[in-house]
A and B are shown apart, each in its own frame.
Chain A
């Protein structure tokens, strides 16, 4: 296959792609939900568990030393992957949701109250919505929202007015529904000019784009491991050290503590101050293997592959299904990530996804944890196909064929 990635070879690295479902090969088009794992990740976790597993930062015997080094090795890999200046600024959480909650509970509750405002967008995932709705209820913080254009982009015409006086702007790097790549750098500059901080929800961004938190200019960056070929159970937050230093602890207990006395406690130093309890140790090992796998492919090539394959999908879906299919989000592949949400005439997304499943084609149907966006689009649900490094044109062809089948079944 011509193109930026040797997908035929890559497919062989993912054991699950060998399996058969409903008598068909597995055509996995739900990586925006969670990605599959290459053998390198599976084996790294297995090898570590078999040879070096122990709790970390607590014991002096050899395997505990090894385990601590392996866990911190995961942090260093992630620091490099997002180009953070220091590993002290890279905090492990269980996922992106917890990372955003960390900012809401620690930084925002400590710094914001009545009279303060936060600027969000209408396309946010519930993970970057609900923590702020809760904060509004509890602290009386005002929430404002950047609307959308018909083409599925952020409508920035009113940005100056909306951003005036806010303390935080929180935005997805890439929308998990529309695929829109948001102008993070522009928002960072606007936020800083307005005296605000910028939080980027990078759950969909980091798996697909070379991520440089310094070039993006953000202040908080949340990411999640399971969408970037890593295991579930690990994600994280990056923030500048002086911000993290000034923030109170979030979850408390063991590991995050330096001293505990009957009359009080002192937190640990960064990054452990924000890592309460036994962390995802094996997962950090898997995450490192995932980072190294993606680095081996090269994130520029990953991005190029996304653009090529998304372009192929947009083109063939439109050619083949014409007016029957409505695709949401930007029409230009260069303006979007590898996510295609669509509605098919006369076939509800759940039914569509059920019919596709019979051909081994996995797509997600539903509101994609973005109900405000669904309301904005005027739909209750969409079907969503999303591609990643192990998908090729044959997978998109399989999607197209099973859509024909659904169309036949539900034809009036």
Chain B
């Protein structure tokens, strides 16, 4: 039986109490993307300053929610800041792979393109969130900011000047 120590690792609580990259960017020029978890009311706002080549110059997070959604957003912001679009997308894939099996099982949908693990990507601190998988209802809290980031990167790519 999973215990609370599987869920509330010290590093998660640290990011919850001291969230990194908390704040806003002027949008525009920055992109502002909102994510909601309608079930529990968690909300995350991701501000992205994306360079013409798609790399994440700056990222800020605002919103409110539980320790899992807010710490996941904080760790995500640290992990993707300064990364190229490709690196950021690889991180998203790797994080979702860590979470995805159960997320798919939860909503019963079979993804056509099952998410592959990314053997070359180092998740680092983010691995602390692995314990969330044992608490299926909380997986959506952990993935909220990542889905929001993915949406932002897609929007940035669509807006980007074609080279």
Which listed residue, A348, A350, A358, A367, touches B4 by the CB 8 Å rule? A358
Q: A348-B66, A380-B64 are in contact. Are A22 and B41 (CB under 8 A)?
A: no
| Cross-chain contact A381 with B67 (CB below 8 angstroms) | no
Which single residue of chain A is at the shortest CB-CB distance from B8?
A409
Within 8 A of A (CB), among B66-109: 66-68, 70
Chain A residues lying within 8 Å of B40, measured Cβ to Cβ, are: 350, 365-367, 381
User: For the complex, would chain B's binding face be called helix, strand, loop or mixed by DSSP majority?
Assistant: mixed
**Chain A nearest CB: distance from B139 CB in Å?**
13
- Indicate if A400 sits at the interface (CB-CB under 8 A): no
B149 at the interface (CB under 8 A from A): no
- What chain A residues lie within 8 Å of B65 (beta carbons)? 348, 350, 380
Set of chain B residues within 8 Å of A348, measured between Cβ atoms: 65-67, 70
Q: Does A188 contact B (CB under 8 A)?
A: no
Q: Which residue of A lies closest to B39 (CB)?
A: A366
B contact residues around A365 at 8 Å (CB): 40
Q: Which residues of B contact A350 (CB under 8 A)?
A: 40, 42, 65-66, 68, 138, 141
A297 to B153, CA, bound (A): 60
Residue of A nearest to B135 (CB): A354
Contact B141 A410 (CB under 8 A): no
> Which of A351, A380, A410 has the most CB atoms of chain B within a 10 A radius of its CB?
A351
Closest partner residue, chain B, to A412 (CB atom): B17
A374 close to B41 (CB less than 8 A): yes
Contact with A along B33-75 (1 / 0, CB 8 A): 0000001111100000000000000000000111110100000
Whole-angstrom distance between the alpha carbons of A381 and B70 in the complex? 14
In the complex, how many angstroms separate the beta carbon of A23 from the nearest chain B beta carbon? 8
User: Smallest Cβ distance from B137 to chain A, in angstroms?
Assistant: 9
Looking across the interface, which residue of chain B has its beta carbon closest to that of A382? Answer: B41
Tell me the smallest distance from the CB of B22 to a CB of chain A, in Å: 16
The answer, yes or no, to whether B156 is at the interface (CB within 8 Å) is no
- 11 A-B pairs whose Cβ atoms sit less than 8 Å apart in the complex: A348-B66, A348-B67, A350-B65, A351-B68, A354-B7, A354-B135, A355-B4, A358-B4, A366-B40, A366-B41, A367-B40
Instruction: Please list the residues of chain A having a beta carbon within 8 angstroms of any beta carbon in chain B.
Output: 22, 346, 348-351, 354-355, 358, 365-367, 371, 374, 380-381, 409-410, 412
Residues of B within 8 A of A (CB): 1, 3-4, 7-8, 13, 17, 39-43, 64-68, 70, 135, 138, 141
